[in-house]
A and B are shown apart, each in its own frame.
Chain A
Amino acid sequence: MIKTDILIIGAGPTGLFAVFEAGLLQLKCHLIDALPQPGGQLAEIYPKKPIYDIPGFPEILAGELVDNLMEQIRPFQPGFTLGERAETIETLEDGTFVVTTNEGTRHQAPVVAIAGGLGSFEPRKPLIDNIGQFEDKGVAYMLKDPEVYRDKRVLIAGGGDSALDWSIFLSGVAKEVTLVHRRNEFRGALDSVEKVRELKHQGKIRLITPAEVVQLEGADRLERVVVRRNTEPAEDIRIELDTFIPLFGLSPKLGPISKWGLEIEKNAIRVDNTLDYQTNIPGIYAIGDVNTYPGKLKLILCGFHEATLMCQSAYQRINPGKKYVMKYTTVGGIHGFDGSKKEAPKVVVKAID
Protein backbone atom coordinates (compact mmCIF):
# COMPACT_ATOMS: atom_id res chain seq x y z
CA MET A 1 0.00 0.00 0.00
CA ILE A 2 1.38 3.39 -1.04
CA LYS A 3 0.68 6.02 1.63
CA THR A 4 0.79 9.76 1.15
CA ASP A 5 -0.84 13.00 2.30
CA ILE A 6 -2.50 14.07 -0.94
CA LEU A 7 -3.21 11.48 -3.60
CA ILE A 8 -3.43 13.27 -6.93
CA ILE A 9 -5.21 11.59 -9.81
CA GLY A 10 -3.81 12.93 -13.04
CA ALA A 11 -0.24 14.08 -13.68
CA GLY A 12 -1.03 16.97 -16.00
CA PRO A 13 0.08 20.55 -15.30
CA THR A 14 -2.53 21.10 -12.57
CA GLY A 15 -1.69 17.87 -10.74
CA LEU A 16 2.04 18.56 -11.00
CA PHE A 17 1.75 22.10 -9.67
CA ALA A 18 -0.37 20.85 -6.76
CA VAL A 19 2.73 18.93 -5.63
CA PHE A 20 4.60 22.23 -5.33
CA GLU A 21 1.90 24.00 -3.34
CA ALA A 22 1.48 20.96 -1.11
CA GLY A 23 5.25 20.85 -0.60
CA LEU A 24 5.28 24.41 0.70
CA LEU A 25 2.87 23.17 3.36
CA GLN A 26 5.07 20.15 4.10
CA LEU A 27 2.48 17.78 2.61
CA LYS A 28 3.65 14.85 0.51
CA CYS A 29 2.00 13.85 -2.76
CA HIS A 30 1.68 10.80 -4.95
CA LEU A 31 0.29 10.93 -8.49
CA ILE A 32 -1.54 8.31 -10.55
CA ASP A 33 -1.82 8.65 -14.33
CA ALA A 34 -3.02 6.30 -17.04
CA LEU A 35 -0.37 7.58 -19.43
CA PRO A 36 3.16 6.23 -19.18
CA GLN A 37 4.70 9.70 -18.72
CA PRO A 38 3.78 12.79 -16.68
CA GLY A 39 2.38 15.90 -18.39
CA GLY A 40 -1.12 14.80 -19.40
CA GLN A 41 -2.43 16.32 -22.62
CA LEU A 42 0.60 18.57 -22.90
CA ALA A 43 2.95 15.63 -23.19
CA GLU A 44 0.61 13.28 -25.01
CA ILE A 45 -1.23 15.45 -27.52
CA TYR A 46 0.69 18.64 -28.17
CA PRO A 47 4.22 18.68 -26.68
CA LYS A 48 5.51 20.83 -29.56
CA LYS A 49 2.73 23.44 -29.48
CA PRO A 50 3.55 26.85 -28.05
CA ILE A 51 1.37 28.17 -25.21
CA TYR A 52 1.07 31.95 -24.85
CA ASP A 53 -1.01 32.44 -21.71
CA ILE A 54 1.18 31.10 -18.93
CA PRO A 55 1.85 34.12 -16.71
CA GLY A 56 5.47 35.15 -16.99
CA PHE A 57 6.13 33.09 -20.11
CA PRO A 58 5.45 35.05 -23.32
CA GLU A 59 5.79 31.73 -25.14
CA ILE A 60 6.56 28.24 -23.95
CA LEU A 61 6.25 24.84 -25.60
CA ALA A 62 3.82 22.52 -23.83
CA GLY A 63 6.57 19.92 -23.42
CA GLU A 64 8.90 22.51 -21.87
CA LEU A 65 6.23 23.59 -19.42
CA VAL A 66 5.97 19.98 -18.25
CA ASP A 67 9.78 19.74 -17.91
CA ASN A 68 9.79 22.98 -15.90
CA LEU A 69 7.02 21.79 -13.60
CA MET A 70 8.86 18.51 -13.01
CA GLU A 71 11.98 20.50 -12.12
CA GLN A 72 10.00 22.82 -9.86
CA ILE A 73 8.47 19.95 -7.85
CA ARG A 74 11.59 17.77 -7.69
CA PRO A 75 12.56 18.88 -4.14
CA PHE A 76 9.18 17.64 -2.92
CA GLN A 77 9.85 14.09 -4.14
CA PRO A 78 6.44 13.17 -5.52
CA GLY A 79 5.71 9.50 -6.07
CA PHE A 80 4.26 8.31 -9.38
CA THR A 81 2.09 5.39 -10.42
CA LEU A 82 2.19 5.75 -14.20
CA GLY A 83 0.51 3.70 -16.91
CA GLU A 84 -2.27 2.71 -14.51
CA ARG A 85 -5.79 4.03 -14.28
CA ALA A 86 -7.44 4.90 -10.97
CA GLU A 87 -10.34 2.49 -10.86
CA THR A 88 -12.06 2.36 -7.47
CA ILE A 89 -12.19 4.39 -4.29
CA GLU A 90 -13.23 3.29 -0.81
CA THR A 91 -13.47 5.21 2.43
CA LEU A 92 -11.93 3.56 5.49
CA GLU A 93 -13.30 3.93 9.01
CA ASP A 94 -10.70 6.56 9.91
CA GLY A 95 -11.98 8.73 7.05
CA THR A 96 -9.01 8.12 4.75
CA PHE A 97 -9.41 6.95 1.18
CA VAL A 98 -8.00 3.95 -0.65
CA VAL A 99 -7.71 4.26 -4.42
CA THR A 100 -6.96 1.11 -6.41
CA THR A 101 -5.76 1.11 -10.01
CA ASN A 102 -6.71 -1.23 -12.83
CA GLU A 103 -3.46 -3.10 -12.12
CA GLY A 104 -4.37 -3.51 -8.47
CA THR A 105 -1.94 -0.95 -7.01
CA ARG A 106 -3.41 0.46 -3.80
CA HIS A 107 -2.89 4.00 -2.51
CA GLN A 108 -4.03 5.44 0.80
CA ALA A 109 -4.39 9.12 1.68
CA PRO A 110 -6.53 11.41 3.84
CA VAL A 111 -7.07 13.70 0.83
CA VAL A 112 -7.72 12.84 -2.82
CA ALA A 113 -7.36 15.54 -5.47
CA ILE A 114 -8.74 14.62 -8.86
CA ALA A 115 -6.82 16.53 -11.50
CA GLY A 116 -7.99 14.26 -14.26
CA GLY A 117 -8.31 16.78 -17.10
CA LEU A 118 -10.49 15.35 -19.84
CA GLY A 119 -10.30 11.90 -18.30
CA SER A 120 -7.94 9.03 -18.88
CA PHE A 121 -6.68 8.45 -22.37
CA GLU A 122 -8.03 5.27 -23.91
CA PRO A 123 -7.15 3.82 -27.31
CA ARG A 124 -9.56 4.72 -30.11
CA LYS A 125 -11.06 1.51 -31.42
CA PRO A 126 -11.83 1.16 -35.11
CA LEU A 127 -15.44 0.59 -36.10
CA ILE A 128 -15.30 -3.06 -37.02
CA ASP A 129 -18.37 -5.01 -35.94
CA ASN A 130 -16.83 -8.02 -34.28
CA ILE A 131 -13.65 -6.40 -32.96
CA GLY A 132 -14.76 -6.81 -29.35
CA GLN A 133 -14.92 -10.57 -29.78
CA PHE A 134 -11.18 -10.75 -30.58
CA GLU A 135 -9.84 -8.33 -27.97
CA ASP A 136 -6.92 -10.08 -26.26
CA LYS A 137 -7.48 -12.94 -28.73
CA GLY A 138 -5.48 -11.48 -31.54
CA VAL A 139 -6.42 -7.80 -31.30
CA ALA A 140 -4.22 -5.48 -29.22
CA TYR A 141 -4.66 -1.72 -28.91
CA MET A 142 -1.44 -1.12 -27.04
CA LEU A 143 1.97 -2.68 -27.20
CA LYS A 144 3.56 -3.37 -23.88
CA ASP A 145 5.99 -6.24 -24.32
CA PRO A 146 7.32 -6.49 -27.91
CA GLU A 147 8.71 -9.96 -27.19
CA VAL A 148 5.14 -11.27 -27.37
CA TYR A 149 5.36 -10.68 -31.12
CA ARG A 150 8.64 -12.51 -31.75
CA ASP A 151 8.33 -14.62 -34.91
CA LYS A 152 4.64 -13.75 -35.15
CA ARG A 153 2.72 -12.22 -38.06
CA VAL A 154 1.41 -8.79 -37.15
CA LEU A 155 -0.65 -6.22 -38.98
CA ILE A 156 -0.62 -2.62 -37.81
CA ALA A 157 -3.23 -0.09 -38.90
CA GLY A 158 -2.80 3.67 -38.56
CA GLY A 159 -0.94 6.59 -40.04
CA GLY A 160 0.64 8.43 -37.14
CA ASP A 161 3.88 8.23 -35.22
CA SER A 162 2.98 5.21 -33.14
CA ALA A 163 1.96 3.15 -36.20
CA LEU A 164 5.23 4.07 -37.91
CA ASP A 165 7.45 3.59 -34.89
CA TRP A 166 6.01 0.21 -33.95
CA SER A 167 6.16 -1.02 -37.55
CA ILE A 168 9.85 -0.14 -37.59
CA PHE A 169 10.52 -1.73 -34.24
CA LEU A 170 8.54 -4.90 -34.86
CA SER A 171 10.13 -5.39 -38.29
CA GLY A 172 13.19 -6.53 -36.36
CA VAL A 173 11.24 -8.85 -34.06
CA ALA A 174 8.19 -10.25 -35.79
CA LYS A 175 8.12 -12.71 -38.67
CA GLU A 176 5.93 -10.49 -40.84
CA VAL A 177 4.91 -6.86 -40.44
CA THR A 178 2.12 -5.38 -42.54
CA LEU A 179 1.23 -1.69 -42.24
CA VAL A 180 -2.19 -0.57 -43.48
CA HIS A 181 -3.22 3.07 -43.71
CA ARG A 182 -6.14 4.85 -45.30
CA ARG A 183 -3.96 7.29 -47.19
CA ASN A 184 -0.61 7.19 -48.95
CA GLU A 185 0.60 10.01 -46.71
CA PHE A 186 1.70 9.38 -43.15
CA ARG A 187 1.85 11.97 -40.44
CA GLY A 188 4.90 11.39 -38.37
CA ALA A 189 8.48 12.41 -37.81
CA LEU A 190 10.24 12.66 -41.17
CA ASP A 191 12.92 10.10 -40.30
CA SER A 192 10.29 7.54 -39.25
CA VAL A 193 8.56 7.94 -42.61
CA GLU A 194 11.94 7.55 -44.36
CA LYS A 195 12.80 4.48 -42.33
CA VAL A 196 9.51 2.79 -43.18
CA ARG A 197 10.12 3.51 -46.85
CA GLU A 198 13.55 1.90 -46.59
CA LEU A 199 12.19 -1.17 -44.78
CA LYS A 200 9.45 -1.47 -47.36
CA HIS A 201 12.02 -1.56 -50.16
CA GLN A 202 14.04 -4.15 -48.25
CA GLY A 203 10.90 -6.26 -48.05
CA LYS A 204 10.78 -6.08 -44.25
CA ILE A 205 7.49 -4.20 -44.05
CA ARG A 206 4.56 -4.88 -46.31
CA LEU A 207 2.86 -1.54 -46.88
CA ILE A 208 -0.74 -1.44 -48.07
CA THR A 209 -2.15 2.03 -48.84
CA PRO A 210 -4.68 3.47 -49.30
CA ALA A 211 -6.54 0.71 -47.57
CA GLU A 212 -8.31 -0.24 -44.39
CA VAL A 213 -9.12 -3.30 -42.36
CA VAL A 214 -12.83 -3.94 -42.78
CA GLN A 215 -13.40 -7.38 -41.34
CA LEU A 216 -11.94 -9.78 -38.81
CA GLU A 217 -12.21 -13.55 -39.16
CA GLY A 218 -11.42 -16.48 -36.94
CA ALA A 219 -13.05 -19.27 -34.98
CA ASP A 220 -11.95 -18.60 -31.41
CA ARG A 221 -8.87 -16.49 -31.99
CA LEU A 222 -8.30 -14.00 -34.77
CA GLU A 223 -6.93 -15.86 -37.80
CA ARG A 224 -7.12 -13.40 -40.66
CA VAL A 225 -8.34 -9.93 -41.59
CA VAL A 226 -9.89 -8.53 -44.72
CA VAL A 227 -8.06 -5.47 -45.99
CA ARG A 228 -9.93 -3.35 -48.48
CA ARG A 229 -7.76 -1.47 -50.92
CA ASN A 230 -9.41 1.84 -51.71
CA THR A 231 -8.79 1.55 -55.41
CA GLU A 232 -11.37 1.75 -58.18
CA PRO A 233 -12.90 -0.79 -57.96
CA ALA A 234 -12.11 -1.66 -54.37
CA GLU A 235 -10.15 -4.84 -53.91
CA ASP A 236 -10.34 -7.08 -50.85
CA ILE A 237 -7.31 -9.01 -49.66
CA ARG A 238 -7.36 -11.65 -46.93
CA ILE A 239 -4.27 -11.66 -44.75
CA GLU A 240 -3.44 -14.49 -42.36
CA LEU A 241 -1.98 -13.22 -39.12
CA ASP A 242 -1.46 -13.67 -35.40
CA THR A 243 -2.14 -10.14 -34.18
CA PHE A 244 -3.95 -7.09 -35.46
CA ILE A 245 -2.80 -3.86 -33.83
CA PRO A 246 -4.97 -0.81 -34.62
CA LEU A 247 -3.12 2.37 -33.57
CA PHE A 248 -5.53 5.25 -34.06
CA GLY A 249 -4.40 7.39 -31.17
CA LEU A 250 -6.00 7.97 -27.82
CA SER A 251 -9.14 9.72 -26.76
CA PRO A 252 -10.00 10.86 -23.26
CA LYS A 253 -12.80 9.29 -21.24
CA LEU A 254 -13.93 10.35 -17.79
CA GLY A 255 -14.09 6.63 -17.11
CA PRO A 256 -14.32 4.97 -13.69
CA ILE A 257 -14.19 8.31 -11.80
CA SER A 258 -17.72 8.98 -12.99
CA LYS A 259 -18.88 6.08 -10.79
CA TRP A 260 -17.34 7.33 -7.55
CA GLY A 261 -20.52 9.00 -6.36
CA LEU A 262 -19.36 12.47 -7.30
CA GLU A 263 -21.76 15.04 -8.67
CA ILE A 264 -21.22 15.05 -12.43
CA GLU A 265 -22.36 17.87 -14.68
CA LYS A 266 -21.41 18.40 -18.33
CA ASN A 267 -18.91 15.53 -18.21
CA ALA A 268 -17.08 17.25 -15.36
CA ILE A 269 -17.07 17.10 -11.55
CA ARG A 270 -19.10 19.73 -9.77
CA VAL A 271 -17.10 21.54 -7.06
CA ASP A 272 -17.48 24.35 -4.55
CA ASN A 273 -15.67 27.21 -6.21
CA THR A 274 -16.49 29.69 -3.46
CA LEU A 275 -14.00 27.99 -1.17
CA ASP A 276 -11.67 25.16 -2.02
CA TYR A 277 -12.82 23.13 -5.04
CA GLN A 278 -14.06 20.32 -2.84
CA THR A 279 -16.57 17.89 -4.34
CA ASN A 280 -19.78 16.66 -2.73
CA ILE A 281 -17.63 14.07 -0.91
CA PRO A 282 -15.60 15.83 1.83
CA GLY A 283 -11.90 15.11 1.40
CA ILE A 284 -12.17 14.62 -2.35
CA TYR A 285 -11.29 17.68 -4.40
CA ALA A 286 -11.41 18.22 -8.17
CA ILE A 287 -9.07 20.75 -9.79
CA GLY A 288 -8.24 21.82 -13.33
CA ASP A 289 -10.13 20.87 -16.48
CA VAL A 290 -11.96 18.01 -14.76
CA ASN A 291 -14.10 20.25 -12.57
CA THR A 292 -16.97 22.59 -13.27
CA TYR A 293 -18.57 25.55 -11.51
CA PRO A 294 -20.29 28.72 -12.68
CA GLY A 295 -17.90 30.65 -14.90
CA LYS A 296 -15.41 27.78 -15.18
CA LEU A 297 -12.61 28.24 -17.71
CA LYS A 298 -10.50 25.30 -18.78
CA LEU A 299 -7.16 27.07 -18.64
CA ILE A 300 -3.86 25.87 -17.22
CA LEU A 301 -3.50 29.06 -15.23
CA CYS A 302 -6.89 28.51 -13.60
CA GLY A 303 -5.82 24.97 -12.73
CA PHE A 304 -2.75 26.37 -10.93
CA HIS A 305 -4.94 28.66 -8.85
CA GLU A 306 -7.37 25.87 -8.02
CA ALA A 307 -4.49 23.59 -6.99
CA THR A 308 -3.20 26.27 -4.61
CA LEU A 309 -6.51 26.78 -2.81
CA MET A 310 -7.12 23.03 -2.68
CA CYS A 311 -3.80 22.54 -0.84
CA GLN A 312 -4.69 25.13 1.80
CA SER A 313 -7.96 23.32 2.46
CA ALA A 314 -6.22 19.92 2.45
CA TYR A 315 -3.76 21.23 5.05
CA GLN A 316 -6.60 22.19 7.39
CA ARG A 317 -8.22 18.83 6.88
CA ILE A 318 -5.04 16.92 7.62
CA ASN A 319 -4.03 19.19 10.52
CA PRO A 320 -7.32 20.25 12.08
CA GLY A 321 -7.10 23.25 14.37
CA LYS A 322 -3.45 23.91 13.58
CA LYS A 323 -2.71 27.61 13.17
CA TYR A 324 -1.01 28.43 9.93
CA VAL A 325 -0.28 31.56 7.90
CA MET A 326 0.56 31.41 4.22
CA LYS A 327 4.21 32.26 3.63
CA TYR A 328 5.67 33.78 0.48
CA THR A 329 8.47 31.80 -1.17
CA THR A 330 10.49 35.04 -1.27
CA VAL A 331 10.36 34.96 2.53
CA GLY A 332 10.24 31.30 3.44
CA GLY A 333 12.24 29.90 0.54
CA ILE A 334 11.83 26.26 -0.36
CA HIS A 335 12.71 23.38 1.92
CA GLY A 336 12.69 20.19 -0.09
CA PHE A 337 11.91 16.80 1.43
CA ASP A 338 15.25 15.77 -0.05
CA GLY A 339 17.03 18.15 2.32
CA SER A 340 17.61 20.75 -0.39
CA LYS A 341 17.13 24.40 0.47
CA LYS A 342 16.50 27.40 -1.71
CA GLU A 343 16.11 30.89 -0.36
CA ALA A 344 16.68 34.51 -1.24
CA PRO A 345 20.31 35.55 -0.61
CA LYS A 346 20.76 37.74 2.44
CA VAL A 347 21.22 41.40 1.75
CA VAL A 348 24.59 42.72 2.77
CA VAL A 349 24.42 45.64 5.18
CA LYS A 350 27.71 47.37 5.23
CA ALA A 351 28.93 50.94 5.41
CA ILE A 352 30.93 52.32 2.52
CA ASP A 353 34.07 54.02 3.78
Chain B
Amino acid sequence: MSDILIRIKDREGNLHEVDASTDMNLNLMEVVRSYELAPEGTLGICGGMAMCASCQCYINSDHKLPEKSDDEEAMLSEAFYVRQESRLGCQIRITEELHGLEVELAPEES
Protein backbone atom coordinates (compact mmCIF):
# COMPACT_ATOMS: atom_id res chain seq x y z
CA MET B 1 0.00 0.00 0.00
CA SER B 2 1.56 3.23 -1.06
CA ASP B 3 0.29 6.72 -1.55
CA ILE B 4 1.77 9.43 -3.69
CA LEU B 5 1.34 13.16 -3.38
CA ILE B 6 -0.25 15.17 -6.17
CA ARG B 7 -0.66 18.93 -6.34
CA ILE B 8 -3.87 19.95 -8.04
CA LYS B 9 -4.95 23.47 -8.88
CA ASP B 10 -8.75 23.55 -9.20
CA ARG B 11 -10.77 25.68 -11.61
CA GLU B 12 -10.96 28.52 -9.10
CA GLY B 13 -7.19 28.59 -8.79
CA ASN B 14 -7.02 26.99 -5.32
CA LEU B 15 -4.16 24.63 -4.74
CA HIS B 16 -4.76 21.22 -3.16
CA GLU B 17 -2.16 18.70 -2.05
CA VAL B 18 -3.77 15.29 -2.09
CA ASP B 19 -2.74 11.70 -1.45
CA ALA B 20 -3.55 9.20 -4.17
CA SER B 21 -3.21 5.45 -3.80
CA THR B 22 -1.31 3.55 -6.41
CA ASP B 23 -2.88 0.19 -5.64
CA MET B 24 -6.50 0.93 -6.52
CA ASN B 25 -6.19 1.12 -10.30
CA LEU B 26 -7.17 4.80 -10.03
CA ASN B 27 -6.75 7.42 -12.68
CA LEU B 28 -6.21 11.14 -12.21
CA MET B 29 -9.82 12.02 -13.02
CA GLU B 30 -11.02 9.66 -10.28
CA VAL B 31 -8.63 11.19 -7.76
CA VAL B 32 -10.01 14.66 -8.54
CA ARG B 33 -13.55 13.37 -8.12
CA SER B 34 -12.80 11.50 -4.91
CA TYR B 35 -11.62 14.75 -3.32
CA GLU B 36 -14.54 16.62 -4.94
CA LEU B 37 -12.22 19.26 -6.37
CA ALA B 38 -14.79 20.07 -9.06
CA PRO B 39 -18.60 20.00 -8.71
CA GLU B 40 -20.23 16.64 -9.48
CA GLY B 41 -21.42 16.48 -13.04
CA THR B 42 -18.77 18.84 -14.35
CA LEU B 43 -15.80 16.49 -14.47
CA GLY B 44 -15.53 12.89 -15.62
CA ILE B 45 -18.89 13.04 -17.36
CA CYS B 46 -18.33 10.08 -19.69
CA GLY B 47 -17.01 8.04 -16.79
CA GLY B 48 -13.46 7.73 -18.09
CA MET B 49 -13.81 6.48 -21.67
CA ALA B 50 -11.95 9.44 -23.24
CA MET B 51 -15.26 10.40 -24.81
CA CYS B 52 -15.71 13.83 -23.34
CA ALA B 53 -13.03 16.32 -22.43
CA SER B 54 -14.44 17.31 -19.06
CA CYS B 55 -11.40 15.94 -17.18
CA GLN B 56 -8.91 17.84 -19.31
CA CYS B 57 -6.00 19.13 -17.26
CA TYR B 58 -2.64 20.76 -17.81
CA ILE B 59 0.42 18.91 -16.53
CA ASN B 60 2.76 21.51 -15.08
CA SER B 61 5.60 19.27 -13.92
CA ASP B 62 7.99 17.32 -16.14
CA HIS B 63 7.00 13.83 -15.05
CA LYS B 64 7.20 11.20 -17.72
CA LEU B 65 3.62 10.28 -18.59
CA PRO B 66 2.31 7.41 -20.66
CA GLU B 67 1.88 8.24 -24.35
CA LYS B 68 -1.51 9.48 -25.48
CA SER B 69 -3.69 6.80 -27.03
CA ASP B 70 -5.43 7.47 -30.35
CA ASP B 71 -8.68 7.97 -28.45
CA GLU B 72 -7.19 10.59 -26.17
CA GLU B 73 -5.45 12.35 -29.04
CA ALA B 74 -8.68 12.46 -31.02
CA MET B 75 -10.73 13.75 -28.10
CA LEU B 76 -8.20 16.45 -27.30
CA SER B 77 -8.26 17.52 -30.93
CA GLU B 78 -11.93 18.41 -30.50
CA ALA B 79 -11.71 19.85 -27.01
CA PHE B 80 -11.55 23.52 -26.17
CA TYR B 81 -8.88 25.37 -24.12
CA VAL B 82 -6.31 22.83 -25.31
CA ARG B 83 -2.63 23.55 -24.69
CA GLN B 84 0.58 21.73 -25.40
CA GLU B 85 0.52 20.27 -21.87
CA SER B 86 -3.11 19.14 -22.03
CA ARG B 87 -4.05 15.60 -21.05
CA LEU B 88 -7.26 13.80 -20.21
CA GLY B 89 -7.09 12.95 -16.51
CA CYS B 90 -9.01 9.72 -17.03
CA GLN B 91 -6.22 8.36 -19.20
CA ILE B 92 -3.49 8.86 -16.61
CA ARG B 93 -3.14 5.95 -14.22
CA ILE B 94 -1.82 6.71 -10.77
CA THR B 95 1.56 5.05 -10.40
CA GLU B 96 4.50 5.62 -8.07
CA GLU B 97 6.41 7.45 -10.81
CA LEU B 98 3.84 10.25 -10.62
CA HIS B 99 4.77 11.26 -7.07
CA GLY B 100 4.86 15.06 -6.91
CA LEU B 101 2.84 15.55 -10.10
CA GLU B 102 1.56 19.10 -10.60
CA VAL B 103 -1.77 19.40 -12.31
CA GLU B 104 -4.12 22.23 -13.18
CA LEU B 105 -7.74 21.55 -14.13
CA ALA B 106 -8.74 23.05 -17.47
CA PRO B 107 -11.75 25.40 -17.45
CA GLU B 108 -15.18 23.89 -17.73
CA GLU B 109 -16.69 24.05 -21.21
CA SER B 110 -19.80 26.17 -21.00
Q: Is the CB of B51 within 8 A of A45?
A: yes
Distance between B55 CB and nearest chain A CB, rounded to angstroms: 13
Q: Which residues of B contact A119 (CB under 8 A)?
A: 41
Question: How many interface residues does B have (CB within 8 Å)?
Answer: 20
**Residue B66 is within 8 A (CB to CB) of chain A in the complex:** no
Q: Is the CB of B78 within 8 A of A267?
A: no
Q: Within residues 49 to 73 of chain B, which ones have a CB less than 8 A from any CB in chain A?
A: 49, 51-52, 54, 70-71, 73
**Residue B12 is within 8 A (CB to CB) of chain A in the complex:** no
Q: Within residues 118 to 148 of chain A, which ones have a CB less than 8 A from any CB in chain B?
A: 118-119, 124-127
Q: Is the CB of A252 within 8 A of B45?
A: yes
Distance between B71 CB and nearest chain A CB, rounded to angstroms: 8
Q: Is the CB of A182 within 8 A of B51?
A: no
Q: Is the CB of A187 within 8 A of B52?
A: no
CB nearest to A158 among chain B residues: B78
Q: Which residues of B contact A181 (CB under 8 A)?
A: 77
Q: Which residues of A contact B39 (CB under 8 A)?
A: 266-267
Q: Within residues 30 to 49 of chain B, which ones have a CB less than 8 A from any CB in chain A?
A: 39-42, 45-46, 49
CB nearest to A45 among chain B residues: B51
A243-256 interface code vs B (CB 8 A; 1 in, 0 out): 00000110110100
For the complex, give the distance between the alpha carbons of A224 and B86 in Å.
31
**Residue B15 is within 8 A (CB to CB) of chain A in the complex:** no
**Residue A185 is within 8 A (CB to CB) of chain B in the complex:** yes
Q: Which residues of A contact B46 (CB under 8 A)?
A: 41, 45-46
**Residue A159 is within 8 A (CB to CB) of chain B in the complex:** yes
Chain A, interface size category, equals 20 to 34
Per a CB cutoff under 8 Å, which of A160, A251, A267, A268 touches B109? A251
- Given the known interface contacts A46-B51, A251-B52, A251-B109, the answer about A182 and B41 at a Cβ–Cβ threshold of 8 Å is no
Q: Is the CB of B78 within 8 A of A266?
A: no
- Given the known interface contacts A45-B51, A46-B49, A49-B49, the answer about A248 and B41 at a Cβ–Cβ threshold of 8 Å is no
For the complex, give the distance between the alpha carbons of A183 and B42 in Å.
26
For the complex, give the distance between the alpha carbons of A118 and B41 in Å.
7
A interface: dominant SS: loop
Q: Which residues of B contact A158 (CB under 8 A)?
A: 78
B74-90 interface code vs A (CB 8 A; 1 in, 0 out): 10011011000000000
Q: Which residues of B contact A49 (CB under 8 A)?
A: 49
Q: Which residues of B contact A267 (CB under 8 A)?
A: 39-42
Q: Within residues 277 to 294 of chain A, which ones have a CB less than 8 A from any CB in chain B?
A: 292
Q: Which residues of B contact A127 (CB under 8 A)?
A: 80-81
CB nearest to B47 among chain A residues: A298
For the complex, give the distance between the alpha carbons of A254 and B42 in Å.
11
Q: Which residues of A contact B41 (CB under 8 A)?
A: 118-119, 254, 266-268
For the complex, give the distance between the alpha carbons of A46 and B45 in Å.
13
Distance between B51 CB and nearest chain A CB, rounded to angstroms: 5
- Given the known interface contacts A252-B45, A267-B42, the answer about A185 and B78 at a Cβ–Cβ threshold of 8 Å is no
Per a CB cutoff under 8 Å, which of B70, B73, B78 touches A249? B78
A34-45 interface code vs B (CB 8 A; 1 in, 0 out): 000000010001
Distance between B108 CB and nearest chain A CB, rounded to angstroms: 10
Distance between B36 CB and nearest chain A CB, rounded to angstroms: 9
- Given the known interface contacts A266-B39, A267-B41, the answer about A248 and B78 at a Cβ–Cβ threshold of 8 Å is yes
Q: Is the CB of B74 within 8 A of A159?
A: yes
Distance between B49 CB and nearest chain A CB, rounded to angstroms: 6
For the complex, give the distance between the alpha carbons of A159 and B77 in Å.
8
CB nearest to B81 among chain A residues: A127
Per a CB cutoff under 8 Å, which of A125, A187, A251 touches B45? A251
CB nearest to A186 among chain B residues: B74
For the complex, give the distance between the alpha carbons of A292 and B39 in Å.
14
Distance between B94 CB and nearest chain A CB, rounded to angstroms: 21
Distance between A230 CB and nearest chain B CB, rounded to angstroms: 11
Distance between A258 CB and nearest chain B CB, rounded to angstroms: 11
B1-44 interface code vs A (CB 8 A; 1 in, 0 out): 00000000000000000000000000000000000000111100
- Pairs across A and B, CB under 8 Å, 9 listed: A45-B51, A119-B41, A127-B80, A183-B74, A185-B74, A251-B45, A251-B109, A267-B41, A268-B40
5 shortest interchain CB distances as A-B pairs: A267-B41, A266-B40, A187-B74, A183-B77, A182-B77
Interface residues of B (CB under 8 A from A): 39-42, 45-46, 49, 51-52, 54, 70-71, 73-74, 77-78, 80-81, 109-110
